[in-house]
Structure 1
């Protein structure tokens, strides 16, 4: 447990997350805490299970960090532990994230936390369409204890309203944002083994090696691409770690790809690593608004990704400024066919990369996201202290 004295005056936001480790949601949480104006809100991070060295990326010195060490299963005692912690901290807001933490909104209500916000950042491989009846019943049952649900994509918002049946007045779409100063095409580039050939076309992906990201399909797509373009010098780089690493390495070896596929492991220098790629590929079977995809677009990389969750909204293929290509989830042949034009035409890759950067700057900036969260917190806190305040739509004060 890392704690700090409760001496500051701004209201406290307690962020409840299942585990603080490398991941898109976790990166977004850390960036939000680090970049939010310190005079508006203080922050504490409560991990149901534990946290890793990733927590060191929280740069603000006034952020308290707690781990409840929840075991597998129901672990009803964790409700009591959280209740006691919330009573001691006295936060103005509890902000929970994804299904694993949603039930604790009721605990926060019992502990007297005035405002409860729940964010949905995506669904996992066990329920990619979000139709599990028990999970959706839980989401509905805790709705009276949640002041606002925050989906991070239009797809998730529609699902919460139409499938889960959350009242529209309790839904607030806030698009994820990315640090466009850190993620850009120009800047330091790491020196890596996959850069052994300056003419090689490097396909990169970033994400935890787990079922929902389906890197196995990407490896199959890369094998198909090599067969489709036998004369091209191609590289595939998988950045990230996770439970499927050994299985994926075995797949690479069995496919005879070990000379052109790199497992880069978990990295803290993702921005310069991105700049070593020629194209970003994402093979997920479920997503919200993937942060790594926004980072790739900000880095001016063309994108080939599966048409799931909020990804189609990001790439905006219906306009003249498309940022990449979409393929069906699980279709390795389609992914290979979508990547091939960028290998053949590097100018096309540059055009779509530039379009992606422009789209991120216009719609998915960190500044607009932070303004939206501050506005949300402000509105809900005001409603709790001013009886009768209606639930209003929130307009971010940054465009």
Structure 2
């Protein structure tokens, strides 16, 4: 099985530990909402690629196929779309249980709560003969869970999560204290260091900027995130207006797309119109922000810019933040969710309060004005990722869970 991938290459990675008692691959069913290009979905694709000789994967999508789902199908991986209807769709657990039996699935790896919920119902109501690994990636803001769901988890559904993991301690505590999954443990995300090299010397840095069309001596910040209310691009734009007043030569690259992009573009123009006429920078403010859309060269962008910023009102474990850190890019991010577990204040970057655009501007300006500090933080950021957030370690940990949950198989005579 060979998968198209811009983020990994099987030949360049050491294999994870294998239980030699098993004579056949473990049949893993991944249960997802939709295989879109997002953190959890990319992780599933990477697991399938890295463990291609050790698991037999099937992907179950509750709602739609998605771009990554199509890539996996093209590579020969079975992807089943369950066509979930709005509300509680009682046909989904019935169909999922039938697929488990027909395909001989050993375990289901459910990513996020709703995929776990339907996986649990497949066992509870339709006796699907399968173990379940439940992985939580993110949390809503505000994090409100209904009493009915909380008690259902505590009294019943948690029994059907044979292993429960979350990608950061923030999400683990939410699972334990809010949801009722008392046995939840943290299994951190990781990034592919082979695809995220250090930024190199001044000559290679200059060459990279030329290829991207960036000025050699201009300071750049980048935000790589979908345009969605949870990412709070509006706070970033207001903060950048203050940065621009002090550093009119600086540029902000906004990489991504989404439903909020048009409103953010409008906000940029609005702030320029309503700024004080006595402020010359107000006229050039829109030119200091570049909308780059969806890009396939994110790793190059992160190595070329001076800092990474993310102003979310809620995060769990941002893979883009880890990619930036691996690229020796110091971060200025909001102190929400798991961000503080990745970035130590003043070491790998800065943490600012949610919604505080003035603090954001101050920290960005500080890094732009202190290249030596920026370089030191970038080096510390990469060292932390190498130590704690290597993708190979993450996938090896998931593989150990698969081995512990799947029944031992022996070859037929």
| Length-normalised TM-score, structure 1 | 0.84
Q: How has the CA–CA distance of structure 1 residues 48 and 218 changed in structure 2, closer, same or farther, with 3 Å as cutoff?
A: same
Aligned alpha-carbon RMSD (Å):
2.5
In 2, Cα distance between the equivalents of 1:190 and 1:75?
Answer: 51
- Paired residues of 2:312 and 2:354 also in contact (CA < 8 A): yes
Counterpart check, 1:370 vs 2:385: no
Counterpart check, 1:314 vs 2:342: yes
Q: How has the CA–CA distance of structure 1 residues 358 and 19 changed in structure 2, closer, same or farther, with 3 Å as cutoff?
A: same
Q: Give the match for residue 85 of structure 1.
A: 99
What displacement does 1:376 show?
A: 1.2
What displacement does 1:282 show?
A: 0.9
| Deviation larger for 350-359 or 146-155 | 146-155
Q: Equivalences for 1:92-171 in 2 at 5 Å? A: 92-109=106-123, 110-124=126-140, 127-140=141-154, 141-168=156-183, 171=184
What displacement does 1:367 show?
A: 1.4
In 2, Cα distance between the equivalents of 1:56 and 1:269?
Answer: 21
Q: Give the match for residue 218 of structure 1.
A: 236
In 1, Cα distance between the equivalents of 2:213 and 2:230?
Answer: 26
Q: Give the match for residue 359 of structure 1.
A: 384
In 1, Cα distance between the equivalents of 2:395 and 2:263?
Answer: 39
1:174 to 187, 192, 197: 187
**Deviation per residue, 1:106-150 (Å, 9 max, x gap):** 2331352421011111113xx343555455445444212111111
**Deviation per residue, 1:83-106 (Å, 9 max, x gap):** 332232221111111123221122
Q: What secondary structure is seen at the aligned counterpart in 2 of 1:284?
A: coil
In 2, Cα distance between the equivalents of 1:198 and 1:236?
Answer: 15
In 1, Cα distance between the equivalents of 2:40 and 2:152?
Answer: 22
What displacement does 1:243 show?
A: 1.4
What displacement does 1:332 show?
A: 1.1
Counterpart check, 1:280 vs 2:299: no
Report the structure, 1 or 2, having the larger helix content: 2
Q: What secondary structure is seen at the aligned counterpart in 2 of 1:158?
A: helix
Q: How has the CA–CA distance of structure 1 residues 147 and 184 changed in structure 2, closer, same or farther, with 3 Å as cutoff?
A: same
Q: Give the match for residue 373 of structure 2.
A: 348
Q: Equivalences for 1:284-299 in 2 at 5 Å? A: 284-299=312-327
In 2, Cα distance between the equivalents of 1:137 and 1:274?
Answer: 44
What displacement does 1:204 show?
A: 0.7
Q: Give the match for residue 246 of structure 1.
A: 262
| Deviation larger for 263-272 or 114-123 | 263-272
In 1, Cα distance between the equivalents of 2:383 and 2:160?
Answer: 39
In 1, Cα distance between the equivalents of 2:135 and 2:396?
Answer: 16
Q: Equivalences for 1:17-56 in 2 at 5 Å? A: 17-36=32-51, 38-55=52-69
- Paired residues of 1:225 and 1:337 also in contact (CA < 8 A): yes
| Deviation larger for 49-58 or 286-295 | 49-58
Counterpart check, 1:266 vs 2:284: no
Counterpart check, 1:63 vs 2:91: no
In 2, Cα distance between the equivalents of 1:135 and 1:80?
Answer: 21
**Deviation per residue, 1:275-333 (Å, 9 max, x gap):** 2321100111111111111100000000011111111111133xxx8100001111111
Q: How has the CA–CA distance of structure 1 residues 50 and 356 changed in structure 2, closer, same or farther, with 3 Å as cutoff?
A: same
- Paired residues of 2:248 and 2:288 also in contact (CA < 8 A): no
What displacement does 1:21 show?
A: 1.1
In 1, Cα distance between the equivalents of 2:313 and 2:398?
Answer: 28
In 2, Cα distance between the equivalents of 1:282 and 1:113?
Answer: 43
In 2, Cα distance between the equivalents of 1:314 and 1:255?
Answer: 33
In 1, Cα distance between the equivalents of 2:73 and 2:86?
Answer: 31
Q: Give the match for residue 250 of structure 2.
A: 234
Q: How has the CA–CA distance of structure 1 residues 27 and 324 changed in structure 2, closer, same or farther, with 3 Å as cutoff?
A: same
Q: How has the CA–CA distance of structure 1 residues 26 and 199 changed in structure 2, closer, same or farther, with 3 Å as cutoff?
A: same
Q: What secondary structure is seen at the aligned counterpart in 2 of 1:95?
A: strand
Q: How has the CA–CA distance of structure 1 residues 372 and 26 changed in structure 2, closer, same or farther, with 3 Å as cutoff?
A: same
Gaps of 5+ in 1: 1-7, 386-399
For the pair shown, the structure with the greater C-alpha radius of gyration is: 2
Gaps of 5+ in 2: 1-22, 273-284
How many residue pairs get matched?
366
